[in-house]
Structure 1
Amino acid sequence: MAETTETTAVYVADVEEFTKGIPKEIFVNGESIAFFKTNSDKIRAIRNSCPHKGGPLSQGIVSGDYVFCPLHDWKISTVDGKAQAPDVGCTHSYSVQVEGSSVYIQI
């Protein structure tokens, strides 16, 4: 029998609580998640931990679709959580939905 993974949409904030280019840390079910509002007004979410040494990505500098880890300057994609080559690693990325002015994350 195949294992199934069930996800739940969890409300995290209203859209106006996010600022373009400034990461925001939000705890969801006890896990620290870094949220990013892009220049095109998309909201993205990845685990708030760099795959290198666990640096807090919500304290990094955002450039386009990437955040630079504040510890060792690794460049991490806010789209899929992957480190940019030549660095190797990945942090978990989350699906985000915006319904009206409410932001939800799939856990």
Structure 2
Amino acid sequence: MQTTTQEYAVGTVEEFLLQIGRVVTTGETELAIFRTSDGAVYALENRSPHPKGGPLAEGIVSGYYLYDPLYDWKIDLRSGEVQSPDHGKVKVYPVILDGGMVKVSL
């Protein structure tokens, strides 16, 4: 089975404030997009891996980590892995920076 990916333009780099999450919907997927203090951009599914769920876009960013706004779980923006002592994983999506435009590959 072949998997097809599609790139979605979600805005310009300047539209994503440093360390502030933003919700973007592409197709049927709701993303939480973050720009770290060094200018890197990350896209995650906007759903907490906690059993009770919840949004991630309102979380606090520190370095390359996102702190879940409801449960304070520490999540690596690069891999989606929840850090110990908690466990779980958030789906992450590749981000392409193309001449100031932010594109997400789904």
Instruction: Give the structure-1-normalised TM-score.
Output: 0.93
Alignment-derived partner of residue 85 in structure 2: 86
Structure 1: gaps spanning 5 or more residues: none
RMSD after superposition? 0.9
What SS class does the counterpart of residue 16 from structure 1 fall into? helix
State the identity %. 39
Structure 2: gaps spanning 5 or more residues: none
Alignment-derived partner of residue 23 in structure 1: 21
Alignment-derived partner of residue 60 in structure 2: 61
Does 1:106 pair with 2:99? Answer: no
Alignment-derived partner of residue 4 in structure 2: 6
Distance of 1:21 and 1:46 partners within structure 2? 14
Deviation at 1:55, TM superposition (A): 2.0
- Post-superposition CA distance 1:30-61 (Å, at most 9, x none): 22101110111111101011101222110111
Does 1:44 pair with 2:37? Answer: no
- 2:36 and 2:61 in contact (8 A); partners too: no
Does 1:73 pair with 2:72? Answer: yes
Aligned residues: 105
Deviating 4+ runs (over 6 angstroms): none
Distance of 2:36 and 2:69 partners within structure 1? 19
